Amino acid sequence: MNLDGLLERCWSWVAAGNRHERGASLVEYALLLGLIAVVCVVAITLIGNSTDGALSKAGSAFP
């Protein structure tokens, strides 16, 4: 399943008003939580790498 399919399924689930069984809802929430966690880790890694270089430059500019 690709990201577009997952997002489409999530939006259709929200629009349908939770017609799924309770277990299916739990799985969908777990998938969303996992996706959010992955996005956060990637964002923090990218921001950390870019700010590391900038802070190193700033730190080396001072004697």
Q: What sign has the CA pseudo-torsion 26, 28, 29, 33? A: positive
Based on its alpha-carbon atoms, the radius of gyration of the chain, rounded to whole angstroms, reads 20
Buried b (16+ CB within 10 A) or exposed e, 7-18: eeeeeebeeeee
Position 41 pLDDT exceeds 70: yes
For residue 38, the model assigns a pLDDT of 95
Domain boundaries, the chain: 22-58
Give the model confidence (pLDDT) of 3-30 as tens digits.
677 777 777 776 666 555 556 788 888 8
For residue 21, the model assigns a pLDDT of 59
Average confidence score pLDDT of the chain: 79
For the residues 27-43, what does the mean pLDDT come to? 92
